[in-house]
Amino acid sequence: MAVIAVSNPKGGTGKSTTALVLATTLARHGASVTLFDCDPNRNLVAWKDGPTASPVTVIGHADSTNIGRMLKGEGARSQFVIADLEGTASLMVASAILAADLTLIPMQGSAMDATQARRAIDYIEDQAATVGPRAYRVLFTRTKPGFATRDERAIREKLAASGVPMMANDLAERAAYRSMFTYRQSLDELDPQAVNGLDKARENADALAGEIVEILRTAREPAHV
């Protein structure tokens, strides 16, 4: 099992979209997946209450008193457990990060997002000072394939120069990702006549999920002396 936390204290960075795309993509490839909706807006709970037939399990009743135990408990039953965390530095967020094998920090290519991502990183590293290193990656979201603004390039360069680990794959700006919430379905369930770019969205989702699986697999390999 693997527990993945999706965290950023800033709203609107793509946390829920990241969690849903990752969960449904892993499930499409045959994995058992449990998705925790810890955001007060409960967008993922609403998605599961729609017409989707996705096998992803969605849990929306965890709180700061039980989130760590629940994540680990579901990890004994599911191959992947993904927690979409609330946008604040709370006890729930801290507990989830401590329970996670990997924390993803979604952000867009703006100075405001970069500042909040830095806060998220500092928060993770503060937790690590007590319990040991915690794996994390910054994930750029809503990017335009083949194009990056000067601001985005400058932010990426600054993060790289600071040694911040970043995902090689972005979660691109795709209409299909928004449509997952509109129609409350997975990418495979969406009607290609109603939603444009499904093939490109699935390709991007597969690349992102594959990279995350590889990060988790590598982290579990024994060190060679």
Would you call 137 helix, strand, or coil by DSSP?
strand
CA 200 to centroid of chain Cα atoms: 19
Low-confidence ranges of the chain (pLDDT < 70): 89, 221-225
pLDDT in tens, 90-107: 889 989 999 999 999 999
**Residue ranges of domains in the chain, CATH in brackets:** 2-220 (3.40.50.300)
Residue type, 29: H
pTM flag (> 0.75): yes
Q: What is the dihedral of CA 205, 107, 136, 221, to 10 degrees?
A: 20
Cα–Cα distances in angstroms (integers) from residue 174 to residues 16, 142, 191, 217, in the given order = 14, 7, 15, 28
pLDDT for 90: 83
Q: What is the largest CA-CA distance in the chain?
A: 55
